[in-house]
Structures are given as C-alpha cells and as structure tokens.
Structure 1
Amino acid sequence: MLDVNPDSVCFLIEKAREFQAKEAVVIPEEPFSPSDDWALQVLADHQDDLSYQEARAVIEDLEEGQQVEVVALMWLGRGDYEESEWEIVLEEAKAAWTPRTADYLLATPLVADYLREGLDLLGYGCD
C-alpha cells in the first residue's frame, strides 16, 4: 500500500522526536516584521541541530510521491481522515505538495506521534 519505505518513516519519527524534544524555541509575541512566520523562526533556530538535519535529509531524499505519502500519513495519524479515506488523503496531499515539505512536516508539533499513528492505522509499525 505504501510506496515510501516504512523503515524510512520510522527513522524520521525517531529524528523528529529527538528534534522536537529539545528545549522549545521562544517565539516573540510581536513578529520582527509582518512577513515573519513562526514556523520558519522555529526551523531557523535549529539549522545546526543534527537531529533536525538528519530528519530534513530523510524527507528531502524522498521522491515527490513519497513525500506526499508522508504528509498523508501525518494527516491520517492526526485524525483529519479515516483509514478508509486513504486514496482521498493521498490526492489532497498531492495537491498540497510543495518543495518545502520538510519545513512543513518538521514545524508540525507532534509530527512524530502523527506519523506513528498513521503507520499503525495502515498496518505498519516501528520495531
């Protein structure tokens, strides 16, 4: 059912947990400029973090269709869709794909939990 290797997703889950478990970044209540985006601030503050770099590399090494599946897994695990709607969530994720998929995934709080739940719902697991 999955084109993306579940082991790659499990590695991503591990690295995302390590990255997101670190001390939270303090985000100012007032952005420095109107174009500031909180997610970009969070990611920019962690550019030198090895776990972040490894997670980002895993995502960027995936083909576009595989990145789409990872986003779909996250949405499924987050409860946005039911398991029976897998084909629908894939189409939605494909329509929403951008070259910034790694930024999107890594800026999502609880992404590791969502990916794990998505894998579990589809009958895959991490050992």
Structure 2
Amino acid sequence: MDDGTQSAGHERLKVLVIDDNKAHAEGLAELLSLSGFEASCVLTGEEGVEVARNLGVDAVLLDMNLPDINGFEVCRRLRRDPRTSSIAVVFHTAQGSVPGARHPGDAFLSYPVAMKEVYATIRKAVKRRRETMGRIIP
C-alpha cells in the first residue's frame, strides 16, 4: 500500500497523531505507517505535547477537540517550546474551518479527506516549516 513516499526520494518522516478517538488515532497511525511514515498516536493534548518533546517528531496530525486541552492550545505549547517549535502541525477535524480564523498551525484539513491528501499535506507542511525555521535559526 506504499504510495511511493519513500521510493520517490522522500525521507521517512515521524508523525504523531493526537486524537481522542482511539480507533481513529490508531487507524490514522496505521495508514501513515503503511504509506512510508513512522507514526505513533496518543489520545490527549497533554500527552501529545509530552510525547512530541521526547520523540523528535517531524509533524503532528492534531485533532481540534481533545478531552483535556484543545488543539489550538496544544499547537501554542509546541510553538513556544524550543524543543518542539520546528514541528509541523497539521490540524484535522470533522467540524470544518472557520473562515478567516487564525491558528498557529501549518495546515488545516477538514474530514472527510482522501489519505493521499493527508500524506501530501504533511509532507508540504514539514517542508515549509523546515524552510521557515531555516531562515529563523542559522
């Protein structure tokens, strides 16, 4: 089921899925793994921030509605911490985006969405984040 992410010269990116729906989180992580990503998942925002700090992930696929802190707060905490500020944050939700809403993430996906679009969005967000961080940090 590999979509060519590794064979097309792409590195194996580490992605952390943060979603309170266990079946959804595990399913996303499995699909990401089957498509050439190194993926893991957690079910709360607090755990997600902690795992992101310790795991050295390239991207976070972040649900908006979590049982402890919302996705915007998770993203803000990741951005404020030098250990996690370079992580690309891709929001995903079934509630849809609010037109004109500002958020500190790198991308926003509203479900339903094709998995190929999820993979491409993660890769683009990581690339953009690295380019941006490269200009900020010598």
Q: How does the TM-score come out when normalised to structure 2?
A: 0.28
- Structure in which a larger fraction of residues adopt helix: 1
Q: How does the TM-score come out when normalised to structure 1?
A: 0.30
Higher relative contact order, structure no. (Cα contacts within 8 Å, ≥ 6 residues apart): 1
Structure whose CA Rg is larger: 1
